[in-house]
Structure formats: C-alpha cells, structure tokens
Amino acid sequence: MTSRKPHPDHPEDMSVDATRTSTQSASGPAPLKQEAETKAPEPGDGFVFEEDFDRLEAISRSILKSTLKGQKLMGDAMRRSLEGDPLMRPQIDPMHANPEILQTWEHILSDPELIMQAQSDLYAGYLDLWSNATRRLMNSEKTEPVIEPAPGDKRWRSKAWNDHPLFDAMKQSYLLNQRFLMGLVDGAKGVDDTARRKVHFITQQMVDALAPTNFALTNPEVLEETFKTRGENLTRGLMNLVKDLERGKGRLALSQADPDGFEVGKDLASTPGEVVYRNRVMELIQYAPATDTVRKRPLLIAPPWINKFYILDMRVKNSMIGWLTEQGFTVFLISWVNPDTSMKDVTFEDYIREGLFAALVGVERATGERQADTVGYCIGGTMLGSALAWMAAEDDDRITSATFFAAQHDFELAGDLLVFADQEWLSEISRLMDAQGGVLDGRTMADTFNMLRSNDLVWSFVIRNYLLGREPQAFDLLYWNADQTRMPKALHLFYLNNFYRQNLLSKGELILGDHRLNLKDVKIPVFMQASQQDHIAPADSVYRSAKLFGGEVEYMMAGSGHIAGVVNHPDAQKYQHWVNTALPEDHAEWLDGAVEYAGSWWLHWRDWLKAQTDEQVPARAPGDGALKSICPAPGEYVKVRS
C-alpha cells in the first residue's frame, strides 16, 4: 500500500470521550494519596468532628431513601416477573447458547496440547508478574509490563493502573486471565464458525463484566473519589441507579447522556428545510438551498430505520446534510416513522414501496426531475441495493447512481451482529416483540448494540454513573445513540432471517415484487464507502458486497468506525481515507494498491457525484414545486421517542 499524504493517529469510533469531566485529565485521576493532615481533635471531641455529623446524617438519609425506593422498584420488577410479564421474566440463557458452549468446551478439553500451551503461557506470565511486582514493592525498581492492554482500551487510563504497584499487578493479572480464557475459546479445533462466534461473544461479555475496573474496591479512581467525598459518590450513584430503574419501570435503562441536554430541531437536526410529503412509513424532507444555483439532478438519502436520521444532521459544525447543501446539491431525505403496534405487519417490501419508491415520486413532483442520485446508509443501503435489483428487473431507470455508506449486501462476513441471527435468537426476538404488541422496543435495540461495545457503552457508564456518582453529560453522539426507534415485527424478522441468517440477496435468491433479485443486473455507477474499524459492517464485508454489482463500482475505505467513519466533516481535519479505483479479487489486494489520504473522504465523494453530471439550475426552495410544505424540518416523525 502506497501513501502520498500524512495521516493522523488511528481514531476511535466515538471520537469524543463521554466519560471525561472538566476536573479530570485525559490520563485519569492522580494516584491514591494520603489525605492532608488535619489538626488533631481536642479531648472530648470524639473521633468524628462535629461538622461531619451533618454530612454523615445527610448521607444516611440519602442511603435510606435510595434503599427504600430501590426496594420498591425491585419489588415491582419481581411482581411483574411473577405475573408473567415476558419483558421482566428472568432469562438464564437468553441467547440459547448452552449447546454451543458445551460443544466448544468439549473440544477444548479433548485437546491436551491446547490446554498445556495455554496453562504454560499463563504460569509463565504469572511468574514474571510476581517477580516484577516483588521488585517494585521491595526495591521500587522500574520493570517492563508482562502484558499490556489492547490499543484503544480506555479502561486503564488512570495513572494508578501503571504507577501503583498493587493496581498495576491487578491489571496485568486480569489481562493474563483474559488472554488465557479467550485463547482457549478461540483456539478450540473442530468448532463450527457459528458456534465459535457465539461462544467468543458470550465469553468476552463475561470477561469484560469481571474487570477490576467495574468494582468499587478494585478501581483506584472510585477509591480516590470515595476517599475525597467521604462516600457521597456512592450515595449519588445509588440515586442514579434508582432513577435509571424507575425510568425503565424496573428494567435498567442505563443513562449515557443527559436526556434534556439537546432538543431535536433546535440543537440537532437544525438544517433548514421542509417536510413536503408524508405517509405511514416516512416523511420526505426537502432541504433549503445554500447556494444560488444547484446541481440539476437531486440527491435522495435513505438512512437506516434502526436509528434516527439526524446522525447525518447533528450540530452545524458536523452536519453532512448542511455540508451537501453548501456544495450545491438539492438534498431530499427520508425520515422514517417510529412505528407503534398498529404497524406490526408492515413488511420490508412495504418500506421499499412506501419509502424509497414513494420518495422518488415525491422528488420528481417537487423538482420536475424524473431521475435522481441516491444514498443508502447501513440498513437503508441494504434496502436501496435490493430496490435497485428490483428496479433493474422492471427496467426502471429513475435512479442514476447509488452511494452506500457502511452498507452490506453480502452478509457472509457481517461482523458481530451475526451473533444475533441464529434461529434461537430469532425465536427470542419474536417472543419479545409479541410481548410488546408486535414491535421491538427501542430499549432492547439499544441494549443489543451496546453489548457489541460493552466496555465503552455499558461498563464505562456503570462506573461513571453508579460508582463515581456523576450525572450524565450533554454529549450529542450519545444523545442520538439513546434516541432509539421501535421495529415492526414483520419487517425486522424478514431482515434478520433473509439477509443475516440466509444471505439470500448475495445468492440471487431474494424475491421481492414477484422478482428473483440479482445485483449483477444493476448497471448504474456505484460508490461504496466502508470504514476501517467498523464492527457493524466490516470493511471486508462491504468489499464483498461491492463485487456483487454488474456496473462500475468504486470502493473507498475511511478511517474509524461505523459512525465516525461516515460522519467526518472536512473542517474537522480528522482521520484518513484510502482510494483505489481498481476492484481486485479480495480486500487485502485492494488495500495493497490503495493510496492513503489525510482527512475526510467527503470531498472525494462530492467530486465523484459531480463527475456523473454537474449541470446547474437556479436554486429550488422547498414548496416551490408541486409538493407544498407540510411542516418545517426535521418533521414530526423524528421527534417521537420510544
């Protein structure tokens, strides 16, 4: 792989650190230290100063109040469980993974070479760790670590994890045990890929949960805070836990961001525009122009319905929608409904007909242009690809080019979400949706995605909210992440079963509109964006999808992950991207021939779009065409909270 331009350090998907406070450095709190000396009490004063009694009494009252409230909530949750509430029913094995776990460990125990090697590595690591810890404690000798955390593992940012011998030894001991256990699971021979994937995921969840960072007595940052506040952090944390249980009606609704920190339409999703069409599945938004002339061919964006669209229109400084209007595009966007139980039988085909196809009609009525360029993001891209094959089967040429953001059409290498695509999990999801009247609630969706990055999206907030006793911050990306949507049963099960589980589209076996779909029939120009560290739509999976189309395809890979890899405003001057107009057999070969550039890929994509056609016309204001304004952007559907 060649490189012509410098690039920044490797980024992380959540580029803003949601757990950092104004009083804490990026490297964490200072190591534990002794409290400053105070004047000794005079005889008769007792062991506790008089001024501390009010604080202790307040702490006691708070603990009592929190305990009583927590007991009531736990009692309500138990009552709901006993009454048969399926959402509250305890699930010992919700993923039905016991057979795979037993199978994997049978293979491990029948492989003495694997066990002996793993044990040998573990013992050697512990001997070195014991030797190093002893030298540090006895002689204050500096030693090299036996094992270090993976790059980007933010759990160990506190200086105490490196500077304090006890906590350093604790950290390395945990990492040795993690390597030992995960090495056994991943090294088991004879285990099929589906079982290995599920067992790896569950084992990693268990290992992450048992990290010493997650417990008050083994986390130096929590101990420091407890020492400094005399336990008030734990009291505040208990109150935060009670509030989250109350908000979830007995289910833990972990707070990641201040729910009142932003207002959609004011702080977020504020690019000017109008809703010009609405039906039961979507609102069509036409954005106001930001230039005197605009590109003649409109641009229609289909975001994922599994999240709300405003990830593409966050704050002004990082809004893709706003940026596109500044580049002279007439931008239309589908804002999906947040469905209720009345939509439980709405299908994937309905979303194409009443979503994408209806939007194309709306774009033509609003602008007079029959043809449009399109964008599909994530699951919206899967829908767009399916619709293109459907349109090709009917000789429908209204779409002239397609851009895909982190979208998959071949799900053979579809990443971590494959764990949730086997028949057992589909049965569990079906049970949950039936219990909710035919929709999957946003809380369940959020929990599923948070599990994929549990250290960043679960345990870091457990520590922050409940052990450090801090209030959630106003952080736009996490606010969006928590603003989840519901999912109709028919639509969601079709998607999981036909794409993730059976991978029918890539095999040419998916049937929609009475047509057997074949992506090779799609001959229009295609631009496919992937992200280097995407755990939802891995780069090599997107590359396999790029190979399915029958026309000219440009595949491009951005730095970072599923969100930051897509939403990367050029003004931020962050990350990097790789370009290679060739499309060789596999992703590794493509990467070898790619050229790396610093910064956002948006400019490259803009130039690609304009190379298709850049004919200019006077700017079009929303409502000037045959479709009149219904309400201002961002519309009403996006404001419905689950």
State the catalytic residues: 378
Closest CA to 179 of 110, 107, 129: 129
Q: Which helix (H) or strand (E) holds 511?
A: strand 511-512
Helix or strand (DSSP H, E) at 90: none
Tell me how far apart the 2 most distant CA atoms of the chain are, in Å. Answer: 96
Secondary structure of 455-497 in HEC code, one letter for each residue: HHHHHHHHHHHHHCCCCCCCCHHHHHHHCCCCEEHHHHHHHHH
Place of tokens 């590359």: 543
User: Using CA atoms, how far apart are residues 437 and 347, in angstroms rounded to an integer?
Assistant: 16
In angstroms, the Cα distances linking 235 to 21, 63, 224, 465, 470 are 19, 6, 15, 11, 11
- The tokens describing 355, both together, are 């979503």
Collapsing DSSP to helix, strand or coil, 294 comes out as strand
Q: Which H or E run includes 331?
A: strand 331-336
**CA separation for the pair 232, 56 (Å, rounded):** 9
Contact 371, 397 (CB under 8 A): yes
If one counts every other C-beta atom within 10 angstroms of the C-beta of residue 105, the result is 15
CA dist 566 → 321, 406, 524, 543 (Å): 12, 8, 22, 16
CA-closest candidate to residue 447, choices 163, 251, 233, 179: 251
Place of tokens 């910064």: 599
User: Do the beta carbons of residue 405 and residue 383 sit within 8 Å?
Assistant: no
CB neighbourhood size of 570 (10 A): 13
CB 238 within 8 A of CB 466: yes
The residues, any chain, with a CB within 8 Å of residue 180's CB and separated by 6 or more, are: 118, 119, 121, 122
User: CB–CB of 348/376 below 8 Å?
Assistant: no
Say how many C-beta atoms besides its own lie within 10 A of residue 571's C-beta.
11
Cα separation, 637 vs 630, in Å, equals: 12
Distance CA 299, CA 301 (A): 7
Helix axes 98-109, 112-139, angle to 10 degrees: 90
The two tokens of residue 174 are: 């945990």
Asked if 432 and 86 touch (Cβ cutoff 8 Å), the reply is yes
φ, ψ (nearest 5 deg) of residue 439? -130, 155
467-495 as b/e, with b when 16 or more CB fall inside 10 Å?
bbbbebbebbbbbbbbbbbbbbbbbbbeb
Within 8 A by CB and 6+ apart from 241, the residues are: 66, 70, 465, 466
Nearest 10 degrees: Cα torsion 405, 409, 413, 419: 90
Instruction: Check whether the bond before 339 is cis (ω within 30° of 0).
Output: no
Residue type, 562: H
CA 79 to the chain's CA centroid: 33
Give the DSSP H/E element, type plus range, for residue 403: strand 399-405
- Answer whether 334's CB lies under 8 Å from 284's CB: yes
